[in-house]
Amino acid sequence: MTYRAPVEDYNFLFEHVVALDKVRGTDRFAEATQDVTAAILTEAGKLCEEVLAPLQRNGDLYPAHLENGVVRCSDGFAEGYRAIAEGGWVGMSADPEYGGMGLPMALTAAVSEMMSGACLSLQLAPMLTQGQIEALEHHASDALKEIYLPKLASGEWTGTMNLTEPQAGSDVGALTTKAVDNGDGTYAVTGQKIYISWGDHDLGGNVCHLVLARLPDAPAGVKGISLFLVPKLLPDADGNAGKRNGVSVVSLEHKMGLHGSPTCVMQYDGATGWLVGKEQRGMDAMFTMMNNARLCVGKQGIGVAEAAYQHALAYAQDRKQGKTSAPAVKDSILGHADVRRMLTTMKADIFAARAIAASNAVAIDMANATGTQAWIARAALLTPITKAFGTDTGIAVADMGLQVHGGMGFVEETGAAQFCRDVRVTAIYEGTNGIQAMDLVARKMMDGGEAAMALLDEIEEDVEAARAVFPRLAADVWNASESMREATEWLVAQNDLQERFAGAVPYLHAFARVLGAHLHLMAALADRGGAREKLARFYIQRMLPEHTAMLAHAQAGAEDLYALTAEELAQ
């Protein structure tokens, strides 16, 4: 099957649904005109279709491996990464002062999705580097910026983030990696980190690690953590990669999927590092990188969903089995009602997730361009929804894609199973989706639900304008928005966070359903009588009603979750 980048979908989204014109209206992003946007998407699409997509299967069949202390990547990955770097795709949103293009995050995120759909294993390398660039731009000293940012933005060097340790998974505060002041502006970093994507490779250049560690006498927990930049190769007097640092790869993880992406156990033995940001404020800097990554991980899920959908659709069009009375589909399984249900569900959810993520990216751009609190709050609110819903959509669509294949989907040679295996981890890393939901109902509601209510207000304004054209669809979205408002009011009234956490995941998914319905409705208005209106009707009439059950779950409280004792759970 040939992957086709969703260039047309993004052009439509940016011009008719998520208002990229607002971003272009700022001084910071005035050069991102419609022509520039369309040209960038077209070129990115060509890269993904012609260069990256052919690497997808090879990375799965011939994984990265550790050889004499050096990670050897899958055949073709070095050439693929070189095409990404030389095309300037790594530094799309990076500061032009350090060699970046200064483009909106909305464009970078769109390209990130396309790369993920083409070859997720390879896409992880530039994605992590982009996150590190943002963290260094906001928190590093000028001296570090001068050395590292130009080489990261060009793709000559790559970046990672090092949080997790064997005894400290999501509980980052339990980490034990230590950093000792060398007295010369550097620190000696010692410890072990696990699950480090692209922690080492043979693509060339240097590998730059952002490492969370604890200084001597620092308090326990998250508040005692600092962040350090620890390169594999120490820069020489001219800022070029020099002698080897005290950094090594212990082993590679044997994973369910993403075999082309080397996931390393990293060892730091008195490795030389530089402090990024202030002492004991490491999580502030790391969260800058993680929030960037959470948007892009949501995009990863959407990218895999798109590829899995295309794969399933192509199979359904060719697979001849049984007879149906459906018009104009001959005797392929595309005429069977349940196959059609799955494919339409996949397509509708992909659009919803893509539009939510694009709205999130636009909010980030507006926050960066204007500095206004309303946009900052909007971006923060949408980030956990984008990450969780985007990756859950990727998993669900990949699973349905396998189901469309029937028994052939369970056979590795068809490639359908790889999408399921590759995308599954996206709901786990950069904060599990449960953690994203908890963040949404707790930290993101510290404003008393103000940001959520402001978003619902805007939805209802748009819905009112749509009533004259699509009265039934508009009424359905309006009612769902009001239900969401009532659930949010209930949520912020709960002082016991356990009451919120118990229904956090269904609350997040209900919010995503309402957001998706709103964005589908906007698409229908821009394409009356066309395919997008038809898809919007399917989503609003068949999928939006799920929010009712989700909100009932969200407001059920925590009592019944803890009713069974530990012994009763084991019976």
Greatest alpha-carbon span in the chain: 79
| Averaged pLDDT, 345-362 | 98
| Averaged pLDDT, 124-136 | 95
Q: Are 288 and 136 in contact (CB under 8 A)?
A: no
Please give the domain boundaries of the chain with CATH numbers for all domains: 7-153 (1.10.540.10), 157-280 (2.40.110.20), 432-559 (1.20.120)
Q: Are 382 and 375 in contact (CB under 8 A)?
A: no
pLDDT exceeds cutoff 80 at 11: yes
Q: Which helix (H) or strand (E) holds 303?
A: helix 282-318
Question: Distance of alpha carbon 381 from its chain centroid, rounded?
Answer: 15
DSSP 277: S
Compute CA distances 452 → 382, 455, 486, whole Å.
9, 5, 11
Per-residue pLDDT, 521? 98
Give the pLDDT band (50/70/90) at residue 328.
low
Nearest partner of 196 among 158, 171, 162, 149, judged by Cα: 162
| Averaged pLDDT, 338-353 | 97
Per-residue pLDDT, 321? 82
| Averaged pLDDT, 426-450 | 96
d(CA 204, CA 241): 11
Select the more confidently predicted residue: 378 or 174: 378
Residues in CB range of 64: below 8 A, 6 or more apart: 71, 72, 73, 74, 77, 201, 252, 259, 260, 261, 262
pLDDT exceeds cutoff 70 at 171: no
| Averaged pLDDT, 171-180 | 84
Tell me the sheet residues that pair with 225. 214
356-411 pLDDT, tens per residue?
999 999 999 999 999 999 999 999 999 999 999 999 999 999 999 999 999 999 99
State the pTM of this model.
0.96
| Averaged pLDDT, 221-242 | 93
pLDDT exceeds cutoff 90 at 67: yes
d(CA 155, CA 78): 12
d(CA 234, CA 246): 10
Phi-psi region of 322 (alpha: psi -120 to 50; beta: other; left: phi over 0): left
Give the pLDDT band (50/70/90) at residue 15.
very high
pLDDT exceeds cutoff 90 at 338: yes
Strand runs labelled E in 203-299:
207-214, 225-231, 233-235, 241-244, 247-252, 263-276
Catalytic residues: 430
The DSSP result for 500-552, as a single string, is HHTTHHHHHHHHHHHHHHHHHHHHHHHTTTSHHHHHHHHIIIIITTHHHHHHH
Token representation of residue 428: 């786990």
| Averaged pLDDT, 220-237 | 92
| Averaged pLDDT, 149-169 | 91
pLDDT exceeds cutoff 80 at 289: no
Q: What is the mean pLDDT of the chain?
A: 95
Token representation of residue 176: 């034990």
Residues in CB range of 219: below 8 A, 6 or more apart: 280
20-36 pLDDT, tens per residue?
999 999 999 999 999 99
Give the least confident one: 83-87, 168-172, 204-208, 452-456: 168-172
Give the pLDDT band (50/70/90) at residue 1.
low
CA–CA–CA angle 512, 334, 113 (5° rounding) = 40
CA torsion 320-321-322-325 (nearest 10°) is -40
In the chain, the percentage of residues whose pLDDT exceeds 70 is: 98
Give the least confident one: 181-185, 188-192, 320-324: 320-324
pLDDT exceeds cutoff 90 at 463: yes
Give the pLDDT band (50/70/90) at residue 551.
very high
